[in-house]
């Protein structure tokens, strides 16, 4: 049997090589001793190359900081990505998977956070940039402690307090059980160490999660008392998209105290707050429960005719496409408000200007950078006038450009250049390509 090259090397190991080959030889098992002048350029097979030691920043605390420092030294376009990082950074996967995880829904948010906490797939900086900022268009200033190094201790304490929900029944702000009172912390480092989540989770999302988790703990411990202050629990349950059985159970507790046949405004007042929270959380099931449950004794259920446009623009601004369709159910797509609102027909016109903000659903979605919602509106509700101006004289394109929403602005700019309004066979305005 012929002897392989490696076998020949093994057979000759220990024998001195010819002098003219000694300088260029690279052994498998032992490092080659190079002449002194060439030692700096030596490459060894037996030991991995040692990367130069980079100077450590003066203070690196969170995983987001460490990842940011690593990316600064090794830009993402040249550094080697792990397989999980490649999956998370893949735009198609991010758009199809992460964008469908509603950050306002406690169970969806927990699934995304598990990618970081349990599986270690996504670091803090990618959770912030890929999920919250790119997929859901949150801005840098919506992360309370993102720029903690430029903040004072008092500013950080205020930001932390504002990020925690206030419950009337407890008469205080609610903190997670594992958190310390921020007033007991005296340095910026101690604060950001205790509340590092606020460097990569937006304030509104964090507050919703804390409120929803507190509702579940209180319900399990039977600490929700039947008085007017317990309506907070229903509101946060709606906003955090808790299970419908939880919402119904809390509604039973609240209703036991709040409903007075002689004063229906009591129940209508807290129901209105719960509806607002449900709309902000994109909770269609909660709206159905509240609507069906309280259409009695002079109550009109959810006020779709009066506050419908406000609900619609809020849903569009938050990026809740399913809620938009729920609110628009029954709307006459030829005349908007043409059909009367009957049972199970809400008929909220997404093209209608909201009296509160003076804009329609398309304006709101464009202003907040909800590109998926902008596309959803112009494709499904093609009677929306993309040239319509709000009370300030801005079109949806103007709103996007004004707030730096470049992706929405580019889409709407192309839409304006390739489509125009024309009359269809019924005499109604429609967007048509030309």
* Exposure on the CB side of residue 307, measured as CA atoms within 13 A: 12
Burial environment of residue 6 by CB neighbours within 10 A (0 to 12, 13 to 18, 19 or more):
exposed
The rounded distance, in Å, linking the Cα atoms of 264 and 258 is 9
Q: What residues contact residue 90 under an 8 Å CB cut-off, 6+ apart?
A: none
Supply 431's token pair.
Answer: 């967007």
Amino acid 191: pLDDT = 96
Mean pLDDT, 10 residues at a time, the chain of 434 residues: 42 45 46 46 44 40 48 51 56 58 88 68 72 85 94 96 89 91 94 94 94 94 79 92 92 68 60 88 90 58 75 93 88 45 62 86 94 92 87 92 92 82 51 47
Backbone phi and psi for residue 332, each to the nearest 5 degrees, phi listed first? -75, 110
- pLDDT for 10 equals 41
Please tell me the predicted confidence (pLDDT) of residue 187.
95
The residue length of the chain stands at 434
Q: What is the DSSP string of 130-183?
A: IIIIIIS---GGGSTTTTGGGS-HHHHHHHHHHTS-EETTTTEE---TTPPPGG
Supply the pLDDT for residue 4: 44
Q: pLDDT at position 114, please? A: 77
- Residue bearing tokens 């946060």: 236
The pTM of the full predicted model, rounded to 2 decimals, is 0.70
């Amino acid at each position: 049997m012929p002897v392989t090259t490696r076998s020949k090397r093994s057979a000759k190991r220990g024998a001195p090589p010819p002098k003219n080959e000694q300088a260029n030889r690279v052994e498998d098992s032992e490092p080659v001793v190079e002449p002194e002048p060439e030692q700096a350029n030596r490459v060894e097979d037996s030991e991995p190359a040692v990367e130069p030691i980079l100077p450590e920043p003066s203070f690196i605390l969170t995983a987001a900081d460490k990842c940011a420092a690593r990316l600064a030294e090794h830009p993402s376009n040249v550094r080697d990505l792990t397989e999980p990082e490649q999956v998370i950074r893949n735009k198609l996967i991010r758009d199809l998977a992460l964008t469908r995880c509603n950050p306002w829904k406690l169970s969806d948010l927990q699934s995304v956070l598990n990618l970081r906490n349990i599986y270690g797939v996504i670091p803090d900086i990618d959770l912030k940039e890929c999920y919250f900022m790119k997929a859901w268009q949150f801005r840098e200033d919506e992360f309370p402690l993102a720029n903690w190094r430029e903040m004072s201790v008092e500013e950080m304490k205020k930001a932390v307090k504002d990020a925690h929900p206030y419950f009337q029944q407890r008469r205080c702000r609610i903190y997670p059980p594992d958190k310390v009172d921020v007033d007991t912390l005296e340095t910026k480092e101690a604060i950001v160490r205790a509340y590092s989540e606020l460097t990569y989770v937006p304030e509104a999302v964090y507050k919703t999660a804390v409120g929803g988790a507190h509702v579940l703990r209180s319900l399990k411990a039977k600490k929700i008392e039947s008085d007017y202050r317990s309506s907070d629990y229903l509101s946060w349950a709606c906003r955090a998209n808790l299970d419908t059985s939880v919402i119904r159970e809390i509604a039973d507790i609240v209703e036991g105290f709040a409903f007075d046949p002689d004063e229906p405004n009591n129940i209508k007042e807290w129901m209105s707050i719960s509806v607002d929270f449900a709309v902000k959380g994109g909770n269609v099931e909660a709206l159905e429960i509240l609507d069906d449950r309280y259409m009695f004794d002079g109550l009109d259920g959810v006020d779709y005719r009066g506050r419908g446009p406000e609900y619609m623009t809020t849903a569009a601004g938050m990026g809740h496409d399913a809620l938009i369709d729920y609110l628009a159910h029954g709307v006459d797509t030829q005349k908007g408000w043409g059909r009367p609102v009957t049972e199970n027909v809400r008929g909220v016109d997404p093209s209608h200007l909201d009296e509160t903000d003076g804009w329609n659903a398309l304006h709101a979605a464009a202003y907040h950078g909800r590109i998926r919602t902008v596309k959803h509106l112009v494709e499904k509700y093609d009677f929306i006038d993309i040239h319509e101006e709000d009370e300030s004289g801005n079109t949806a394109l103007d709103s996007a450009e004004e707030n730096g929403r470049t992706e929405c602005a580019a889409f709407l700019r192309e839409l304006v250049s390739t489509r125009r309004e024309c009359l269809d066979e019924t005499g109604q305005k429609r967007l048509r390509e030309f």
